[in-house]
């Protein structure tokens, strides 16, 4: 393992476990405007290991993720706008631009992403505390095809379409 990959993987070990299911959405809820939303711009510094930068409204983050589908390790830290802009010059390809809507579904929050530079692709994700919760989750009618295990719907692969 080279030194930079080893460094990134050690960061992941200090992070947390991300457990989420992901679905394509054909029809968005009609009351979407009542839910909180965010503007997100994110780009990739590396695919293996997965290292990305993200601007979420007015905050910037550096994130490192391990491989995986339903669950994987994730390390995220806030960075300054200057650091974000420095990293942005080193991105692989174009940034993803999306509007994220936070929709309450019982005890969970669904994050509906509408990608502005991917022909308005609509994907919804729900994060869970345990794998058991993820498995038992009752899927709402407006969720479409599940793509949790389809690697082509990972953001690290979606950005390749626009680059």
Those residues with Cβ within 8 angstroms of residue 96's Cβ, 6 or more apart along the chain or in another chain: 40, 41, 42, 43, 115, 117, 118, 155, 158, 159, 162
- Identify the active-site residue in 39, 44, 75, 84: 44
CB contact burial 87-113 (16+ within 10 A = b; e otherwise) = beeebeeebbbbbbbebeeeebebbbb
| Structure-token pair, residue 81 | 């706008």
CA distance 59 to 81: 8
Q: Is 102 a catalytic residue?
A: no
User: Phi/psi at 152 (nearest 5 deg)?
Assistant: -70, -15
Catalytic center residues: 44
């Amino acid at each position: 393992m080279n030194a930079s990959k080893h460094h990134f993987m050690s960061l992941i070990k200090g992070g947390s476990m991300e457990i989420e299911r992901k679905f394509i959405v054909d029809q968005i809820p009609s009351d979407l405007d009542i839910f909180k939303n965010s503007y997100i711009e994110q780009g990739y510094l590396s695919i293996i290991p997965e290292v990305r930068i993200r601007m979420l409204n007015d905050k910037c983050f550096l994130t490192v993720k391990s491989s995986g589908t339903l669950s994987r390790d994730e390390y995220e830290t806030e960075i300054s706008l200057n650091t974000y802009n420095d990293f942005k010059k080193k991105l692989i390809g174009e940034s993803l631009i999306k509007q994220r809507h936070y929709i309450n579904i019982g005890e969970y929050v669904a994050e509906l992403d509408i990608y502005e530079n991917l022909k308005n692709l609509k994907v919804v994700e729900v994060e869970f505390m345990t794998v058991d919760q993820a498995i038992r989750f009752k899927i709402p009618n407006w969720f479409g095809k599940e793509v949790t295990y389809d690697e082509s719907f990972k953001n690290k692969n979606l950005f390749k379409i626009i680059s």
